[in-house]
Amino acid sequence: MTQRVLTTESGAPVADNQNSATAGAGGPLLLQDQHLLEKLARFNRERIPERVVHARGSGAYGYFEVTDDVTGFTRADFLSAVGRRTETFIRFSTVADSLGGADAVRDPRGFALKFYTDEGNYDLVGNNTPVFFIKDPVKFPDFIHSQKRDPFTGRQEPDNVWDFWAHSPEATHQVTWLMGDRGIPASYRHMNGYGSHTYQWTNAEGEAFFVKYHFKTNQGVRSLSGEQAAELVGRDASSHQTDLLQAIERGVKPSWTLYVQVMPAAEAADHRFNPFDLTKVWPHGDHPLQRVGRLVLDRNPDNVFAEVEQAAFSPNNFVPGIGPSPDKMLQGRLFAYADAQRYRLGVNHTRLPVNAPRTAVVDNYGRDGLHATRNGARHDRNYEPNSYAGPAQTDAALSAPLAVHGWTGTHATPAHTKDDDFFQAGELYRLMSEDEKGRLVANIAGGLSQVTRDDVIEKNLTHFRAADAEYGRRVEEAVRELRED
């Protein structure tokens, strides 16, 4: 095997990588030692700003294969034929903790999927829960601050967590999900994924539909109790990363079946639940699951930093036939996700290999900026319209237009007939077995009993009582017992 030559960043060969240049055998270092200075300067800059949320993550490549005809609902090319395969990259993550946090913790999990389609990249950014804690993006920074480390104590504080939830009754549904049996997945392979938000599909005839995505794990749902999770964290804080990496390396190909719920756009206004409220689910009796295809993971990244940490997802990366809905949280994320990546990775992050389209051609007038690699040739113009045969618009909208009416201003979302903050949380509680209810109550009481303010505890108990009288009573009794010990 031919020995490769070590070089500097500029390509010059390195004569000595074991000893720094000094003034004499035992003298001080020399500023002229370019190799040393370059290595230290690069080392200092190896870490980019970590994500504010979803910092701790794992990723894998795979493919999505269409198994059922959905062309009646969408003209998206990658969904246009049964048997069609599209390369994908997925990033799983915890939400609240930092990059160095543990995997097996009670927290929602990110489920971010990039489809490398022939019409451009399509990013589907969701979680392993079908709902979320809030319904308006103006509350998102406050919510995350309440769940993150306290500025004074430097740790997550039950007072902050439960105080925010006490003032956010719409969080009751997601709190019930999080504190239930599925709050700590056994691995990334053993959890479902959801688009969570409502999206729009448009077919070739221009008909619009609203959809919800459900990725059902083919490995079966498996979760951990709090005790099992604590033991696992003690053995391997990177347990979910270890599991995913080793499973794919030994030839196991984790897979999920994608289903969608479909609602004709005309039905949205009169539905008994607001179909664009992220704290609500669509009952399957109203809109049954319809199978679309399967997601298969078959290849690990070669470099976690380059391909997992630098992976950038944005829900405004749509393709023809798929678009946004009036979901307020989705609307906020259309800006926030892309802006977060511009801050972390720079304006040219879309040209990094993991983020760049595989088959679609990128041709626009974006120029310059940090890490610019495609600035145009000598005769290319950087403006449009022009007389030099530069790229031009298609005049074909990606999705159907959304009707709007009324006055501008800060409005509460109009309520539908069943739009209270507690009904679906109560329905979820009543679906649980007696053992599941007991574990849910114990998990809630374990955190709520640590809150120091009685009024905050009482506000949260009021939410659980409103969801279900028995639910509230059992949490109240469990909190009281823990506080008296």
Catalytic residues: 54, 127
C-alpha pair distances (Å), 252 with each of 17, 187, 239, 245, 295: 41, 14, 17, 10, 13
Structure tokens at 360: 């679609």
Q: Strand pairing partners for 91?
A: 59, 112
CB 315 within 8 A of CB 333: yes
CB 348 within 8 A of CB 364: no
Cβ partners under 8 Å of residue 453, min gap 6:
159, 163
**283-287 contacts, C-beta under 8 A, 24 or more apart:** 287/212, 287/261, 287/262, 287/263
CB 111 within 8 A of CB 244: no
Structure tokens at 139: 């509350």
Residue among 144, 133, 275 at smallest CA distance from 211: 275
Q: 402-439 burial, b for 16+ CB within 10 Å, e for fewer?
A: eeeeeeeeeeeeeebeebbbbbbbbebbeebeeeebeb
Q: Strand pairing partners for 467?
A: none
CB 82 within 8 A of CB 42: no
CB atoms within 10 A of CB 359: 11
CB 216 within 8 A of CB 284: no
Residue type, 472: G
Residue among 210, 188, 160, 177 at smallest CA distance from 62: 188
At residue 202, what are phi and psi to the nearest 5 degrees?
A: -130, 130
Residue 281 is given by DSSP the state -
The dihedral over CA atoms of 106, 304, 191, 81, expressed in degrees to the nearest 10, equals 150
| Locus of tokens 């809630």 | 444
Cα–Cα dist 309/306, whole Å: 6
CB 109 within 8 A of CB 116: no
Residue among 197, 249, 194, 240 at smallest CA distance from 217: 194
